[in-house]
Chain A
Amino acid sequence: MKRWLRRYWDLLRKPSVHYSLGFLTLGGFIAGIIFWGGFNTAMEATNTEAFCTSCHEMYANPYQELQGTIHWSNRSGVRATCSDCHVPHEWTHKIARKMEASKEVWGWIFGTIDTEEKYEEKRLELAQREWHRLKANDSLECRNCHEFESMDFTLQEERAAQAHSTALAGGDKTCIDCHKGIAHELPDMAGATLVQ
């Protein structure tokens, strides 16, 4: 066994005989691009609405609830899909969230939330995780689409202009403090620990 390993190690260490250094570098470079591209493509594939709602758990509740809300249909025809709000854009954050999501695959295999009742029981915990995440990153995902600088208060309704020009402008509060439940139904908030 040891000898066998040794042989391969020697082979790996041996300088190349048949291929030029230039070819190897270039080849490695191209292979890298292909691998990187493939990796990102595969990751993008898990960012589509079709993927998110391909499992019953996400189809039955979040997807149904999203339909009919303003992020599903509105006069401008711009739609927010699951990943717009739930997956960070920045690469390192995205990878971190994806690794975390691998854990959720276990939940799927063991049917943690595969019935209406189980989902409802877990809803507060799941929602709270998203609220904490959005609170910590100053509602980054919302701001990817909604830019504070571009908000015209004079065009907003009075209640909105009032809240946005004070608490939001001053930085005391962030979007998710006031806009919980914009895409899904809210759980019983009695036990919530992060109510603005």
Chain B
Amino acid sequence: MKTVILRVTAALAITGLLCLSAISSAQDQRLSPPAPDGLRMGGTLAETMPAPPIAGDPRTVEREVRNYPEQPPVIPHVIRDYQVDRRFNRCLDCHSREDAVEAGAPMVSITHFMDREGQVRAAVTPRRYFCTQCHVPQTDAKPLVESDFWPAEKVIREAIRGDKQ
């Protein structure tokens, strides 16, 4: 008799657990629906997907043509471990007015010396001090979304062609 009771309790307990897990998995579905397929495909909202591999930094890259004159040029070299903080700015080792020629690097342009009133200062101003705010290295990363950007000269060329037709 005792063993029968024991077995029935065990069976009940197992069914209960199964039901609970079924309910909670339904709940999981509601709490964590499939994620919208944005930049990172697949998975659900609450799931942490493995990060895509970090794009390599090719060792030899050429300077890139800028798409418009105000564009901060991309950095054509590695900048691993380059320190840019309150104490020291590694970029200015080569790009400052004093050192650029010897380093064979282009000097930071005059806009980097201008404060917000357009006044030209003696040194790179605080708003242009943290270089990587605007300049990033060129990598071999694939674009996440397609870009239909046209540089100005192409827009003009296309417009003229359209006029002619």
Q: Could you tell me which A residues sit within 8 Å of B by CB distance?
A: 68-70, 156-159, 162, 181-182, 185-189
The interface residues of chain A, by DSSP majority, are classed as loop
Shortest beta-carbon distance from A161 to chain B in Å: 10
Shortest beta-carbon distance from B139 to chain A in Å: 14
Shortest beta-carbon distance from A127 to chain B in Å: 11
- In the docked arrangement, what's the CA distance between A162 and B94, Å? 13
Tally of A-B Cβ pairs under 8 angstroms: 35
Residues in chain A near residue B78, CB distance under 8 A: 157
Task: Please pick, from A156, A157, A181, the residue contacting B90 in the complex, using a CB distance under 8 A.
Answer: A181
B79-87, B147-155, B157-165 - interface stretch? B79-87
- In the docked arrangement, what's the CA distance between A188 and B83, Å? 11
Q: B48 interface residue, CB < 8 Å from A?
A: no
A187 touches B81 (CB 8 A): no
- In the docked arrangement, what's the CA distance between A162 and B81, Å? 20
B100-129 interface code vs A (CB 8 A; 1 in, 0 out)? 000111000000000000000000000000
Q: B60 interface residue, CB < 8 Å from A?
A: yes
Which of B60, B77, B87, B90 has the most chain A CB atoms inside 10 A of its CB? B87
- In the docked arrangement, what's the CA distance between A157 and B79, Å? 12
Residues in chain B near residue A188, CB distance under 8 A: 86-88
